[in-house]
Amino acid sequence: MADVLQKSGDANEYRQLMGKVKVGFNQNFWTGKEYRHPDYKGKTDDRSLALAVVAGIAGSDKYPALFEVFKNEEHASPYMEKYVLEALFQMGYGDYAIQRMKKEFGDMVNNPEYTTMFEGWGIKEKGFGGGTTNHAWSGGALTILSQYLCGIAPIDSGNSKFENMPHPASVEQATATMLSVKGEIKSAFINRTNKFDFSVSVPQGTTAVIGVADAGFSSIKVQGGRGMAKRKIYR
């Protein structure tokens, strides 16, 4: 926010502080396998590990070890699960993120009685103090599907410049539409064994940085249209 407000002095001060926090956090809490307080005796908390990844405290050298913890620890609420999923996508484990998303949110999404998201993983005895059946904080997984799976993410404020870089993992097909102040941003892909079809709708007056994950493609074909760029990418 300091950068957007052109408060360069504040921004530099914050970055220096962030650097100190990163060094101190890793020195005090990294065990070689996970982040833990030396005096803590309970199970390792997947929520704190996820926040360390998303905040940039955990470097990529720690990702394999953290992934092993994420596969065995599930303590997050529906709200905090969003950050676990985000961490998994950022670390490059999109397939496991989708698998975990289905496991954690499956009962809620497929509930035959309710069409809204719950406060906890269930209702009544499975909820938090009973739990509400209409709670916005449980929708974080949807933002992950839009931002990471389909790849729509802002670069500048107001989405005047944005990126569209999907991380399809093994998902065969997905579509997302984001309504911004500049207009609708659309992303869609079909992920085949030897071919990746990717289409993007770019609102007028905006700049899009478009890309795909490196999967050993041998050629890229681009078709442009008004407000639409189409890429056909072959492995």
What pLDDT, in 10s, does the model give residues 196-209? Answer: 899 999 999 999 99
State the pLDDT at residue 8: 96
State the pLDDT at residue 140: 93
Name the residue type at position 130: G
What pLDDT, in 10s, does the model give residues 122-140? Answer: 887 777 666 788 988 899 9
Q: Same structural domain for residues 165 and 97?
A: no
Q: Same structural domain for residues 72 and 106?
A: yes
Confidence of residue 157 (pLDDT cuts 50, 70, 90): confident
What pLDDT, in 10s, does the model give residues 180-229? Answer: 999 999 999 999 888 889 999 999 999 999 988 777 777 878 776 554 44
What pLDDT, in 10s, does the model give residues 146-156? Answer: 999 999 999 98
State the pLDDT at residue 129: 60
φ and ψ at 32, to 5 degrees? 105, -20
* Cα dist from 27 to 32, 38, 127, 220, whole Å: 11, 11, 37, 45
Is residue 232 over pLDDT 60? no
State the pLDDT at residue 224: 67
**Residue 23 and residue 52 in contact, taking contact as beta carbons nearer than 8 Å:** no
Cα–Cα distance, 63 to 36 (Å, whole number): 15
The pair of structure tokens assigned to 57 is 């405290």
Q: Same structural domain for residues 40 and 102?
A: yes
Name the residue type at position 81: E
The answer to whether residue 5 is domain-embedded is no
Q: Same structural domain for residues 135 and 162?
A: no
Tokens 């035959």 belong to: 112
- Tell me the residue range of the domain where 217 lies: 154-234
Q: Same structural domain for residues 40 and 138?
A: yes
Residue 188 sits in a domain whose CATH number is: 2.60.420.10
The Cα angle at residue 117 between residues 114 and 123, in degrees rounded to 5? 70
The pair of structure tokens assigned to 89 is 């996508």
Q: Which residue has the higher pLDDT, 35 or 124?
A: 35
Q: Same structural domain for residues 171 and 122?
A: no
* Cα dist from 195 to 6, 43, 189, 192, 224, whole Å: 43, 43, 10, 5, 18
Is residue 234 over pLDDT 50? no
The structural domain count of the chain equals 2
Is residue 110 over pLDDT 50? yes
- Min mean pLDDT across 47-51, 155-159, 160-164 is at 155-159
State the pLDDT at residue 165: 93
